[in-house]
């Protein structure tokens, strides 16, 4: 014959997680399980699992009922009335009080000093009966460790609010305004200073070409001088000449350097030296010239898209044709914005 123990692990179908949940609810023996109610025990197990997170799935109430029946069969326990594992509750008698009971506030510093927990201070209900006001008595229970706080404190009777005089209405008479003659800001004898237009030293880009500049020329021909006027037409022409010479001397100086290495006459060395001088002049006078409209360099190329109408010759690029166009036709088209710019009034 199998020996019957009080261990709930003897219940068939009881997993380790379920056993831990039962122990968390206070069911640690077969007797406690036999005296439990399935629905109440399921609710307690659900609350315990919500806090402890022991298992992702809870057993059903019908499965818990089977565990309870097994424990009763093992213990040969068959209650006549359904037993519910509830805490005994004592019903409080109806409180009748002829006075108002209030709880006084205990200072936090005193609670910390005397090590009084919030749970040690009992809650107290208030009841009111009768219409007459009586002295108020307050009772607060304090642990024995606290000796400096009196257990019974009497509050002074309520005092009437001080009488306040009714507000008075004060009438304020407006101050009489004196008639003051307002003088005009501007005197009639003083005339306004005429505003003169701003005068700029630079050339006016809206200035039309001089009479007879394009006489006998077809408006759509290349020789027809068109576009906005550049403020430095002479410097534009000089910069074009310097740019052409520098671009021609660049390959010439490279060839002369190779010839010097092949023991050619020494006078060829003047070509590289002339290229260095022309490069300095180019950077001093030509490289800084910019378009009047977009501000981009006229004789300097940039790694960007050029205008479709810009002066361009295959294998020579944009700068070389622009310089020749300035010298031959006295106007050019900007490489970047495509605006026509003339260098002749």
What pLDDT, in 10s, does the model give residues 100-145? Answer: 455 555 566 656 766 766 666 665 544 444 444 454 444 545 455 4
**Residue 189 placed within a domain:** no
Maximum C-alpha span of the chain = 137
Weakest mean pLDDT among 158-162, 231-235, 338-342 = 158-162
**Residue 107 placed within a domain:** no
DSSP string, 281-343: HIIIIITT-B-TTT--BSS---SSPPPTTS--BTTTBTHHHHHHHHHHHSEEE-TTT--EEES
**Domains of the chain: total:** 2
Give me the pLDDT at residue 33, please: 81
Q: Which of 27, 58, 75 is the last residue of a domain?
A: 75
What are the pLDDT digits (tens) for 191-213? Answer: 566 776 665 555 566 677 788 88
Give me the pLDDT at residue 51, please: 83
**Residue 1 placed within a domain:** no
**2, pLDDT greater than 60:** no
**Residue 146 placed within a domain:** no
Radius of gyration of the chain (CA): 55
Phi, psi angles (nearest 5°) of residue 119: -70, -20
**Residue 160 placed within a domain:** no
What are the pLDDT digits (tens) for 251-284? Answer: 999 998 888 888 888 888 899 899 999 999 999 9
In 3D space, the residue among 269, 240, 244 whose CA is nearest the CA of residue 329 turns out to be 240
Give me the domain span that covers residue 53: 8-75
**91, pLDDT greater than 70:** no
Give me the pLDDT at residue 322, please: 94
**Residue 327 placed within a domain:** yes
**Residue 255 placed within a domain:** yes
What are the pLDDT digits (tens) for 23-38? Answer: 888 888 888 888 888 8
**Residue 278 placed within a domain:** yes
Give the separation between CA 252 and CA 272, rounded to whole angstroms.
Answer: 8
Global pTM exceeds 0.75: no
Q: For the packed helices 38-52 and 61-75, what is the interaxial angle rounded to 10 degrees?
A: 120
Q: Which of 16, 42, 75 is the last residue of a domain?
A: 75
Give the separation between CA 288 and CA 291, rounded to whole angstroms.
Answer: 10
């Amino acid at each position: 014959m199998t020996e019957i123990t009080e261990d709930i692990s003897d219940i068939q179908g009881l997993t380790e997680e379920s056993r831990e949940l039962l122990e968390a609810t206070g069911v640690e023996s077969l007797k406690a399980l036999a005296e439990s109610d399935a629905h109440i025990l399921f609710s307690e197990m659900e609350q315990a699992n919500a806090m402890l997170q022991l298992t992702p799935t809870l057993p059903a109430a019908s499965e818990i009922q089977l565990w309870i029946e097994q424990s009763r069969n093992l213990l040969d326990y068959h209650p006549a009335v359904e037993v519910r594992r509830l805490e005994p509750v004592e019903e409080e008698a109806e409180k009748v009080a002829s006075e108002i009971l209030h709880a006084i506030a205990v200072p936090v510093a005193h609670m910390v000093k005397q090590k009084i927990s919030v749970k040690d201070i009992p809650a107290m209900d208030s009841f009111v009966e009768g219409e007459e006001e009586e002295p108020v008595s307050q009772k607060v229970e304090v642990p024995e460790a606290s000796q400096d706080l009196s257990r019974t404190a009497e509050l002074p009777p309520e005092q009437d609010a001080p009488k306040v005089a009714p507000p008075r209405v004060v009438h304020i008479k407006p101050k009489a305004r004196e008639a003051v003659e307002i003088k005009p800001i501007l005197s009639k004898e003083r005339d306004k200073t005429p505003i003169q237009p701003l005068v700029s030293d630079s050339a006016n880009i809206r200035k039309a070409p001089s009479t007879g500049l394009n006489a006998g020329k077809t408006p759509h021909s290349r020789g027809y001088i068109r576009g906005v006027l550049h403020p430095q037409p002479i410097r534009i022409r000089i910069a074009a000449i310097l740019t052409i010479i520098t671009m021609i001397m660049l390959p010439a100086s490279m060839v002369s350097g190779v010839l010097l290495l092949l023991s050619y006459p020494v006078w060829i060395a003047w070509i590289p030296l002339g290229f260095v001088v022309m490069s300095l002049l180019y950077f001093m006078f030509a490289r800084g010239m910019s378009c009047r409209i977009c501000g981009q360099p006229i004789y300097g190329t940039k790694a960007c898209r050029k205008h479709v109408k810009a002066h361009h010759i295959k294998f020579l690029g944009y700068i070389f044709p622009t310089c020749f166009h300035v010298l031959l036709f006295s106007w050019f088209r900007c490489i970047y914005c495509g605006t026509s710019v003339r260098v002749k009034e």
